[in-house]
């Protein structure tokens, strides 16, 4: 059921601070949402291709360089839309539960 909410979660995370894929996975896990790399990488690439995200390379203190993703203005606009959509869904469920 988490399907579709994932994209929203990613934008929420990146709206607060830029991050690289493995860090995003960790943060989601801490928030109780399990995501694997095979899901996340294509998603990030899609978002980047659509102009919602951009990225820059940064050296890692240990291991290969990291790809830090950054949310764009367009991405912030999308996030606002998704905030609204999310609230609507929550309201819908509440309505059906009453």
Residue among 91, 69, 95 at smallest CA distance from 15: 69
Residue 83 touching DNA (CB under 7 A): no
Q: How many angstroms separate the CA atoms of 13 and 16, rounded?
A: 6
Helix axes 21-30 and 5-16, enclosed angle (nearest 10): 110
Residue 45 touching a copy of itself (CB under 8 A): no
Scanning 39-47, 74-82, 89-97 for contacts with DNA by CB under 7 A, the matching segment is: 39-47
Q: Find out whether 9 and 15 touch, Cβ atoms under 8 Å.
A: no
Residue 66 touching DNA (CB under 7 A): yes
Which residue, 62 or 95, is less far from DNA as judged by CB? 62
Which residues in the 9-28 window bind a copy of itself by CB under 8 A?
A: 9, 12-13, 27-28
């Amino acid at each position: 059921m988490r399907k579709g909410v994932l994209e929203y979660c990613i934008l929420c995370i990146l709206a607060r601070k830029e991050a690289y894929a493995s860090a995003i996975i960790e943060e989601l896990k801490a928030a109780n949402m399990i995501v694997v790399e095979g899901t996340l990488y294509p998603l990030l690439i899609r978002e980047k291709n659509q102009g919602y995200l951009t990225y820059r390379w940064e050296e890692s203190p240990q291991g290969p360089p990291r790809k830090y993703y950054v949310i764009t203005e367009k991405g912030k606009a999308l996030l606002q839309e998704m905030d609204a959509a999310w609230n609507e869904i929550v309201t819908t469920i509440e309505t059906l539960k009453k």
